[in-house]
Amino acid sequence: MKNNKRNFIIIFIITAIILYFALKDDFLTKVKYLLSFDIKWIIIAFLLILSYWFLKGLVLYYCASKIKKDYTPKKGILLMVTTQFFHAITPFAAGGQPWQIYKLKKDGLTLGESTNVIIQDFIAYQVALVLLGGCAIISNYIIHIFPSDSLLKKLVTIGFIINTAVVIVLFVVAFSKKWNKKLIDGTITFLSKIKIVKDKEEKLKKSEKFIHNFHKSAIILFKDKFNMFRIISLNFIALIGQYLIPFALFMGLNIYINPLIVIITSAYVMLIGSMVPIPGGTGGLEFSFVAFFQNFIKGPKLSIIMIVWRLITYYFGIFIGAIALSIKKEGKKCA
H helix runs in the chain, sequence order: 2-23, 27-35, 39-64, 73-88, 96-106, 111-143, 151-175, 177-193, 200-222, 225-243, 245-252, 259-273, 284-293, 300-310, 316-334
Q: Is the dihedral of CA 241, 246, 248, 249 positive or negative?
A: positive
Instruction: Give me the residues of the chain with pLDDT under 70, please.
Output: 1-15, 17-28, 91-95, 147-150, 173-175, 177, 195-197, 210-218, 220-221, 274-283, 328-335
pLDDT at 276: 67
pLDDT at 328: 60
pLDDT at 58: 96
pLDDT at 53: 95
pLDDT at 178: 74
Nearest to 89 by CA among 27, 1, 217, 188: 1
pLDDT at 61: 96
